[in-house]
Amino acid sequence: MQRLKRGILIAIEGIDGCGKSTLARNLHATLTRQSIATVLTKEPGGSPLGKELRALLQQQEIPLDPKAEYLLFAADRAQHFAQLIIPALYNKQLIISDRMGDSSIAYQGYGRGLDIAMIKTINAWSMQDIRPDLIVYVRIEPDTAWQRIWARNEALTTFEQEGIDFLQRLAHGFDTLFESQQNVIILDGNDTPDILTQKAATAIISWINTQQLISQ
């Protein structure tokens, strides 16, 4: 195993149907093959409490109040950081999280219309002021994502049921959020899973080398 000088936190973000979860899995496998100790996790649902919260969020018959919805994601995040992310960073591992705080800005902020400054404040609090080192944003047109979601032929999640307008607000949210941010790797979700993995892995490894984070 290659030893890292410190833990590294990477979030994968994007709208439903962009291919982010496949990329997270493939990246985990690729980086592990390159002898980097990598942990794969997700929000919501990275901790045992988070799994219960994820089920709660997906099973509501009466729509949740947007603030209640956000606070459940924030509770998941607080537990995820305390139980999993912070210990893994302490152990100098590389963590890949399928979604993190920025999903709340896109979904509950741009999607549901909650105050974005408030979300940023509570996100920082629940994340103990830790920010991801890198964000991989898998960008895709809402129309393409919508077609993929339908083609899966699976039951739609609460958010997928919101329809194409909602997806458009999310895409606009992510674009606005990430266009001026330094540490974001923007990938084209139309690329094949293999190409996406290769591009993300190359960008991550080159960042690690530039930061000189491998112990010699």
Q: Which residues contact ligand TYD (rule: CB under 6 A)? A: 16, 21, 43-45, 54, 73, 99, 103-104, 107-108, 157, 159
Q: Which is nearer to ligand TYD, 133 or 160 (CB)?
A: 160
Q: Which residue is at the shortest CB distance from ligand TYD?
A: 107
Preceding amide of 44 cis, omega within 30: yes
Q: Which is nearer to ligand TYD, 184 or 208 (CB)?
A: 184
Residue 6 contacts residue 92 (beta carbons within 8 Å): yes
Q: How far apart are CA 79 and CA 47, in angstroms?
A: 7
Q: Whose CA is closest to 22, among 203, 202, 205, 197?
A: 197
Q: Which is nearer to ligand TYD, 36 or 88 (CB)?
A: 88
Q: Which is nearer to ligand TYD, 21 or 32 (CB)?
A: 21
Q: How far apart are CA 194 and CA 17, in angstroms?
A: 16
List Cβ neighbours of 68 (8 Å cut-off, separation of 6 or more): none
CA 28, chain centre distance (Å): 14
